[in-house]
Amino acid sequence: MVDGVILNAGAWTHTSVALRDAIEAVQLPVVEVHLSNTHRREGFRHRSLIAGVCIGQVTGLGRDGYTAAAHLLLDYLEARR
């Protein structure tokens, strides 16, 4: 059984409505992770199509972003119990 998802969607973050729909359909809490700071990159990377269906977003922390995302997800799940 899965209680939540940590997702690094890469370029699909900015381009995939299908991915957004899938996240919404599974009805699980999802934390969006990006290794780089997307707001320091090209303009088209500043907008996330999936952010609106995620509980949070971690960007620019490199691999430490996964740890931060795990803490965010665990805190969220604990608060809901």
Which tens digits make up the pLDDT trace of 27-65? 999 999 999 999 888 887 889 999 999 999 999 999 999
Q: Which CATH class is domain 5-80?
A: alpha beta
pLDDT tens digits, one per residue of 1-12: 899 999 999 999
| Annotated domain spans of the chain | 5-80
pLDDT of residue 63: 97
> Residue 35: its pLDDT value, please?
96
Cβ atoms of 29 and 73 closer than 8 Å: yes
Strand 56-59 versus strand 5-7 pairing type: unpaired
Residues β-bridged to residue 32: 7, 57
pLDDT above 70 covers a percentage of the chain that reads 100
